[in-house]
Amino acid sequence: MKYLVFISLLLAMQLCKAQLRNGEIIDLTHSFSEESVYWVTAKEFSLEEVTKGKTGQGYYYSANNFETAEHGGTHIDAPIHFAEDAQTVDEIPLENLIGNAVKVDVSQKALKNPDYLISLEDISEWEEKHGSIPHAAIVLFETGYGSYYPDASKYLGTDKRGPEAVKELHFPGLSAEAAEWLITNRKIKAVGIDTASIDFGQSQDFATHVALMTQNVPAFENVANLDQLPATGFTVIALPMKIKGGSGGPLRIIGIK
């Protein structure tokens, strides 16, 4: 099994090298700043300037401190986030964060309905047009909400913060039924979405998180620039901050097409 995993990762890396030589790199990460969108109950990003300027020795030097919650901006949800004894962010195998990817674009529907749930029907329609989603793929979902970032009132449905703001969240997400089907029938590595959560804003039970993470499938949230990716034929590299025991963390994710 370890040999097969090694071969799979080696092949993925060879493909990445070929695409890096010949392809276009798309940055799928929103910059982290005070504008970054965070879950309404999470500590927002802050940057503290420690020093900036010429030193007494004549050279320029700058350094900062930053503070942030695990879940905000472009980030990863590790399986432990919603599944007891599942993988923490530092335990996710690298081969699950690198590989062939597809993009399912539901923006024409989702932009008309802030509570839209990506369904099995959406996936079936995509496969009728593009062929079956390959096994062990990374699946990204474009809802069109990335165009609203970082305007919280449009992106989240509210610019309020705190526990009382949770009930006012409105944005699309992936249905638990579709997530379970992708795990069972397409053996997906990971999912990503251009909203604040893989579950839709009005979710009360976070069933999609649970469905994915009990099977050690991580999720990438607040993914940027999905409109610049094709439906198929690209590779994703999604490398999070390696926080020991972390339930998630800031993510630098790119697509190579």
- In angstroms and rounded to an integer, the radius of gyration of the C-alpha atoms of the chain is 19
The pLDDT of residue 22 is 72
The pLDDT of residue 51 is 97
Task: Give the integer Cα–Cα distance in Å for 221 and 74.
Answer: 6
pLDDT tens for the 257 residues of the chain, in order = 555 555 555 665 565 565 566 789 999 999 999 999 999 999 999 999 999 999 999 999 999 999 999 999 999 999 999 999 999 999 999 999 999 999 999 999 999 999 999 999 999 999 999 999 999 999 999 999 999 999 999 999 999 999 999 999 999 999 999 999 999 999 999 999 999 999 999 999 999 999 999 999 999 999 999 999 999 999 999 999 999 999 999 999 999 99
CATH topology (fold) of 22-37+70-256: Glucose Oxidase; domain 1 (3.50.30)
Residue type, 131: G
Q: What is the value of pTM for the model shown?
A: 0.91
Q: Are the C-beta atoms of 114 and 166 separated by less than 8 Å?
A: no
C-alpha distance from residue 183 to each of 79, 179, 191 (Å): 14, 6, 10
The pLDDT of residue 11 is 60
Question: 103 — phi, psi (to 5°)?
Answer: -125, 125
What is the number of alpha carbons within 13 Å of residue 175 lying toward its C-beta? 13
DSSP characters over the chain? -HHHHHHHHHHHHHHHHHHHHHS-EEE--PPPSTT--B-TTSPPPEEEEEEEEE-TTS-EEEEEEEE--SSBSSEEE-GGGTSTT---GGGS-GGGTEEEEEEEE-HHHHTT-TT-EE-HHHHHHHHHHH-PPPTT-EEEEE-SGGGGTT-HHHHTS----SGGGGGG----EE-HHHHHHHHHHH--SEEEESSS-SS-TT-SS-HHHHHHHTTT--EEES---GGGS-SSSEEEEEEE---TT-SEEEEEEEEE-
Provide the residue ranges of all domains of the chain, joining segments of one domain with +.
22-37+70-256
